[in-house]
Amino acid sequence: MDYAEKYFQEKKRKFFLVLAFLSVLLTFTFIFSLNIGSSNVGLLEILTLMSTSSKTSSTLINIVYNLRLPRTLAAMFIGVLLAISGVLIQSVTRNSLAEPFLLGLSSGALTFMALAIIIVPSIALSLHYVSVISFIGALIAFTLTLTLSEAIGGSATSLILAGLAVTAGFSGLSSFLAFIVQSKLNMPFLILLLGSLSQILRGHVVMLALVSIAGFTLALIMAKRLNAIIYGDEHALQLGYNPKTVRIFASMLAALLTSVSVAIAGIIGFIGLIVPHMSRLIIGSDNRYVVPLSALLGALVLCVSDIFVRIASEGLAIGEIPVGAVTSVLGAPFFAYLLLTKVKA
Amino acid sequence: MVCIRISDMGFSYDDKLFTLKDIDLNFCEAEVTTVLGPNGAGKTTLLKCLARILKPQKGTIYIDGRDLWKMSLYEAAKIIGYSEVEIPRGFNVKVLDFLSTSRYPHMRTFLESLEDIKAVKESLREVGAEKFSLRKIEQLSSGELQRIIIAKILAKKPKILLLDEPTLHLDIKYQIDILKKIREITKKHKLITIMTIHDLRLASMFSDKIILLKNGKIVSIGSPPEVLTPKNIEETYGIRVKVIKDTEAGVIVVPLP
C-alpha cells in the first residue's frame, strides 16, 4: 500500500479504535456516575436495578431514576451540545481559539433568559420558550462579537478580544438580572451563572437528547462544508459550497446548541474549546472524524467533571460546587497554553 | 473539449470605477494563456470573474456556450480550478487532508474513495511534493505551499485551470518545472489554462497566447513575439525595453537604463 492510501486507511482504523475505547470508557463512567451520590446506594444495587425491575425498594428507584440517571444523562448530552457547538464555531470563524463561552454566546443567552423571566415570570415554566429566548440572546451576542471583531481588524486575535468585550458586558448584565430573578421571584437562578447540573429534571433529558441527536446529525452532514470553509470563502466556492449559507447555518446551529445547554444548566465554559482540540490532536483536522469524536469526548469530559463536583461537594460538605467552575479551572490553563503556541507561531 | 467566450464584460468593485472594461476574449482548449500587465491592471480580477467568484456587472462569460452564472455552483466547481487559499492556523491540518477537500465536488461517498486518493497522489507527484505530503500545512515554506496550492487545483481535475502567479515564491528550478508541468498537463488533457505571471521572460517561454492588460483594458493579444514588442511594453508598463529574438530561447525582453 502506498503512503496516501495508508494515511487515509490508518486514520479510519485509528478512528474506530478510539471510538470503541471511548465508548467503553463512557459506559463505565455512566455506571460509575449512577453510583455517586450522598445516599448509600451502591454499584451492586444499581446493577440489580438495571437488570431486574422487580423486587427493588421505591426509594432506590426514586434516587437512581429521578435524580442520578437524569443528571448523568444531562451531563453527557450537554457535553455533546457544547463540544459540537465548539467545532462549529471554530470552523465558522476559522479560529481554533473560538468557543461559545469565550465569544459571548453563553452569557448572551443567559442575559436574555433572565430578562424574559423578569418581564414574564411564568415563562420560566416552559423550557421551550426559555430556549427560544436564550437562542435569540446567543445569536445577538455572536453577531455583536463578529461585528466588533471586523471593526477592529478581523484578525484571529481581534476575534478573541471582541469576544472578551461582549462576554464581559453580557456576564455583567446577566449577573445583575440573575440577582433580581433570584431575590424577587425566589428562583434558584444565580447558580446558572456558574453552570450547574443540580437542577436537572427528567423532562429536561428528553429535550437534551433530541437536540443533541439533531445537532450531531446536522454537524456530521455539514462536515465536508466545515472542512472547506476553514480554507477561506474562495476555496469553499470552488468546491461548490456557498460559504455564506454554510456560515449562517453553522452559526445558527451553534447558537441553538449553546442556548439549549444554557437554558438547562447555565454557563459551562471551555468544553467547546478543550474537546475539539483533543479530538484534532487524536485524529487530525477532518471534521468527518472530529464531529463524532468531539461528541463522545464532550459527553465524557462533562460527565467526569460532574462526578468530580459531586464527590468534592460531598467530601467538603459545602453544598453543591458549580460544574462551570470545574470546567473553567480545567479550561483556562488549556486556553493559556493555546495562546502561547499561537503567539509563538 | 472546452471553450470559453467572454463578450463585452465589465467589472467594478464599487459600481463607479470599472476595474475591467470592454473585455472580449476567446480561449481554446489545449492552450496556455498568460495575462500580463502592471500591478492593479485587473489581472486577478479577470481570473476571479472566470472562477465564478466575482460577478461581472456587464457582459457574459460562456463556457461551452453556457452562461457561467446560470450554472449551479456545484457544476462550475467541477469544471473550474482556481488557486486562492487561506491557510488555517491551529487546526492541525496535514497536506493530504487539505488536498482531499478539493476532491469534494467529485466525491459521492462520505469518505474518500480509492479514485480520490489516486487523484491526490497524482497531483502531488506532478508538483514534486510527495515527500512533504504528511507535514502540517502551516509548517510548509512558502515555496512548498505554492506547489501544494497548484496540486490542489490539479487534484480536482478541472477542465479550466486559473492560476494566479503560480511561480510566486518558487526558486528558478521549480518555476521552470511547474510551468513545464502546467503546459504539459494542458496539452495532454486538452485543458484551458489561464495564468498571471510577472516575469515576461517566463510568460514568453510557456504561453501560447499573451494578453496585455492595462487599467482594465486589453492593450494587445496574440502570440508572445506578436505581443511583446518594445512599443506595447512601453505603452503598458511605461518602461523602455529592448526585445531580443533568439532562435533557441524565444523572446527576451531586456529593460533599458
DSSP assignment of B119-166 equals HHHHHHHHTT-GGGTTSBGGGS-HHHHHHHHHHHHHHT--SEEEEEST
CB atoms A4 and B133 under 8 Å = yes
Given CB atoms, is B69 within the 8 Å cutoff of chain A? no
- Residue A40 pLDDT: 60
Which string of b and e fits B221-256 if b means at least 16 CB within 10 Å? beebeebbbeebbeebbeeebebeeeeeeebbbeee
| C-beta of residue B49 within 8 angstroms of C-beta of residue B11 | yes
pLDDT of A54 strictly over 60 = no
Closest residue by Cα to residue B198 from B37, B40, B83, B45:
B37
A16 touches chain B (CB under 8 A): no
Q: Cell match 453543591: residue?
A: A320
**Own/partner pairs, A40-48, CB within 8 angstroms, 24+ separation:** A41/A68
- Predicted confidence band of residue A25 (pLDDT cuts 50, 70, 90): very high
B145 touches chain A (CB under 8 A): no
**Looking at the complex, does the CB of residue A227 fall below 8 Å from at least one CB of chain B?**
yes
The yes-or-no verdict on residue A51 having pLDDT over 80 is: no
- Is the distance from CB of B208 to CB of B31 less than 8 angstroms? yes
Min Cα separation B82/chain A (Å): 7
* pLDDT given at position B143: 87
Q: Which residues contact A168 (CB under 8 A, 6 or more apart)?
A: none
Contact B98 A94 (CB under 8 A): no
The one-letter amino acid code at B48 reads: K
Helix (H, G, I), strand (E, B), or coil: what is residue B26?
A: strand
- Nearest CB neighbour to A285, from listed B73, B91, B114: B91
Q: Which residue of chain A comes nearest to B122, CA vs CA? A: A4
Task: Specify whether the CB–CB gap between A193 and A181 falls below 8 A.
Answer: no
Q: Mutating which of A8, A238, A341 best tests the B interface, going by the most B Cβ atoms within 10 A?
A: A238
pLDDT tier, A321 (very low <50, low <70, confident <90, very high otherwise): confident
User: B91, B97, B140, B150: best mutation site toward chain A, by most A Cβ within 10 Å?
Assistant: B91
DSSP run (H or E) holding B222:
strand B217-222
CA B30 to each of CA A127, B1, B191, B208: distance values in angstroms, whole numbers, following the listed order: 63, 9, 5, 9
Alpha-helix residue ranges (DSSP H) falling in chain B: 43-50, 73-79, 95-101, 114-126, 142-155, 172-188, 200-206, 224-227, 230-237
| Record: contact B117-A281, CB cut-off 8 A | no
Fold classification of A3-344 is ABC transporter involved in vitamin B12 uptake, BtuC (1.10.3470)
Are B134 and A7 in contact (CB < 8 Å)? yes
Q: Is the pLDDT of residue A45 over 80?
A: no
CA A24 distance to own-chain centroid: 21
Flag if A235 and B51 touch (Cβ within 8 Å).
Answer: no
C-alpha cell at B123: 497531483
**Residue partners of B254: CB distance under 8 A and separation at least 6:** B241, B242, B243, B244
Instruction: Classify B250 as helix, strand or coil.
Output: strand
In chain A, the percentage of residues whose pLDDT exceeds 90 is 68
What pLDDT is recorded for position A227?
95
Could you tell me the pTM of the whole model? 0.91
Confidence check: pLDDT of A315 > 90: no
* Shortest CA gap B177–chain A (Å): 23
Asked if residues B95 and B120 have their Cβ atoms less than 8 Å apart, the reply is: no
Please, which pLDDT band fits residue A48 given cuts at 50, 70 and 90? low
Long-range contacts of A311-316 (CB under 8 A, 24+ apart): A311/A36, A314/A37, A314/A38
A14 reaches B (C-beta below 8 A): no
Min Cα separation A62/chain B (Å): 44
Question: Residues 162..181 of B with a Cβ closer than 8 Å to A: which?
Answer: none
The stretch A232-240 carries a mean pLDDT of 93
The shortest CB-CB distance from B112 to any of A8, A97, A241 is to A8
Provide the ipTM: 0.89
Residue holding cell 450531531? A216
CB contact under 8 A, B84 and A285: no
Q: Which chain B residues have a beta carbon less than 8 Å from that of A288?
A: 110-111
What pLDDT was estimated at residue A14? Answer: 96
CA distances from A326 to A269, A270, A275, A302 (A): 9, 10, 15, 9
- CA A185 centroid distance within chain: 28
Which tens digits make up the pLDDT trace of A237-248?
Answer: 999 999 999 999
Contact A285 B121 (CB under 8 A): no
Give yes or no for a contact between A138 and A258, defined as CB atoms under 8 angstroms apart: yes
| pLDDT tens for each residue of A174-197 | 999 999 999 888 888 888 999 999
Query: Is residue A156 pLDDT above 90, yes or no?
Result: no
Cβ contact B84–A5 (<8 Å):
no
Sequence ranges of the domains in chain A:
3-344
User: Could you tell me if B110 lies within 8 Å of chain A, comparing CB atoms?
Assistant: yes
C-beta atoms of B130 and A97 within 8 A: no
- The three-state DSSP-derived secondary structure of chain A is CCHHHHHHHHHHHHHHHHHHHHHHHHHHHHHHHHHCCCCCCCHHHHHHHHHCCCCCCHHHHHHHHHHHHHHHHHHHHHHHHHHHHHHHHHHHHCCCCCCCCCCCHHHHHHHHHHHHHHHCHHHHHCHHHHHHHHHHHHHHHHHHHHHHHHHCCCCHHHHHHHHHHHHHHHHHHHHHHHHHHHHHHCCCCHHHHCCCCCCCCHHHHHHHHHHHHHHHHHHHHCHHHHHHHCCCHHHHHHCCCCHHHHHHHHHHHHHHHHHHHHHHHCCCCCHHHHHHHHHHHHHCCCHHHHHHHHHHHHHHHHHHHHHHHHHHHHHHCCCCCCHHHHHHHHHHHHHHHHHHHHHHC
Name the pairing type of β-strands B4-12 and B58-63.
antiparallel
Per-residue pLDDT tens, chain B, 257 aa: give them. 689 999 999 999 887 788 898 999 999 899 999 999 999 899 999 999 999 999 999 999 999 999 999 999 999 999 999 988 888 888 889 999 999 999 999 998 999 999 999 999 999 998 889 999 999 998 899 889 999 999 999 999 999 999 999 998 889 998 998 999 899 999 999 999 999 999 998 999 999 999 999 999 999 999 999 999 999 999 999 999 999 988 777 788 888 88
Pick the residue with more confidence: A200 or A253? A253
How many angstroms away from the CA of A72 is the closest CA of chain B?
31
CB pairs under 8 A between A and B: 115
Q: Give the confidence band of A49 by pLDDT, cuts at 50, 70, 90.
A: low
Task: Please report the pLDDT score of residue B152 as a whole number.
Answer: 94
